Amino acid sequence: MSAAPLHVPVLLDEVIEALSPAAGEWHVDGTFGAGGYTRALIGAGANVIAIDRDPDAIGGGADLVAASGGRLHLVHGRFGDLDVIAADAGHPDLDGVTLDIGVSSMQLDQADRGFAFSADGPLDMRMQQDGETAAEWIDRADEAEIADALYLYGEERQSRRVARAIVAARPLKTTGELAAVVRRALGHRPNAPKDPATRTFQAIRIVVNDELGELERGLEAAERALKPGGRIAIVSFHSLEDRIVKRFFKARSGADAGGSRHRPEAGGGPQPTFASVAKARRAGDAEISRNPRARSATLRSAVRTAAPAWSCQAGQGGREA
């Protein structure tokens, strides 16, 4: 097909191996982006329902839809609703689901989207391009809320100092202004290997887009939509996301036998909904040399069992997720 993707997705071969797409199957690519995973799935003979919350990605996928021969359905929406979207498309029982979590390379490369500080732009950060912007959130949030977000989602150990500086400098309208405030607060040295503003930008982006909540909703939606034997592959880029995926598979596969907030004590709880949970996979040196973004990527995958989704087992002695 024509319309090659602008950015090659990370761990592409490993994702396709985990999904094992076959002719006639139906898969959901919940983070369409530039269409790299979707293209590979279609190339293997599968049909794809591709979802993206970014309208720019939907517009950019028109040529791929036209070239797909009717095997690609492109939907503007959130992957947290993937089970509903698949059912509305007439395919409630899926053979595979893949998610590439976090901000895309295309979004990072566009200064006017406000995701990065490599070039100055408006402090936006909205993946869906509607709702509250990063600048608006910073302007209304109190110092404690900002500090908590930086600590929890950016793993910024000096979050209170940074939050205090942000509040004192409000209003902030551009990525350059925010980055400068963070650097001054942390005494940044220009030759330091990593810009300390990176952690703050990550945290605010996660808050603005509710990324971790959306990931949890997406995992549960995939559990509901996958048929027995269906495969799921999740690529994440930092420890917060990977921890959610790892814990979800551990609980849903029955490996968390001691119980947790997701799963009651073994014996009276819901039956495992995932099996064949693979060990985490990471990019090799060759891929990292071609695409440095792949260095932080982690792939986790599993296979759906025949047990009902945990929410459907809630009335059978289990608890709803």
Domain 115-209: assigned CATH number: 1.10.150.170
pLDDT 10s digits, 13-44: 999 999 999 999 999 999 999 899 999 999 99
Helical (H) or strand (E) element with 224: helix 211-225
Range(s) within the chain of domains with CATH label 3.40.50.150: 12-105+211-316
Indicate if the pLDDT at residue 4 is higher than 70. no
The whole-number pLDDT of residue 268 equals 64
Mean pLDDT is highest, among 120-124, 237-241, 246-250, for 246-250
Backbone angles phi, psi at 240, to 5 degrees: -65, -45
pLDDT mean across residues, the chain: 90
The whole-number pLDDT of residue 7 equals 65
The whole-number pLDDT of residue 321 equals 42
Please give the Cα distance from 197 to 192 (Å, whole number): 12
pLDDT 10s digits, 156-211: 999 999 999 999 999 999 999 999 999 999 998 777 778 999 999 999 999 999 99
Contact 260, 197 (CB under 8 A): no
Indicate if the pLDDT at residue 319 is higher than 50. no
pLDDT 10s digits, 86-102: 999 999 999 999 999 97
Indicate if the pLDDT at residue 227 is higher than 90. yes
Question: Which string of b and e fits 301-317 if b means at least 16 CB within 10 Å?
Answer: bbbbbebbbbeebeeee
Contact 40, 265 (CB under 8 A): no
3-state secondary structure of 43: helix
pLDDT 10s digits, 98-147: 999 977 666 666 666 877 888 899 999 998 889 999 999 999 999 999 99
Range(s) within the chain of domains with CATH label 1.10.150.170: 115-209
Give the number of other Cβ atoms within 10 Å of residue 61's Cβ.
22
Class of domain 12-105+211-316: alpha beta
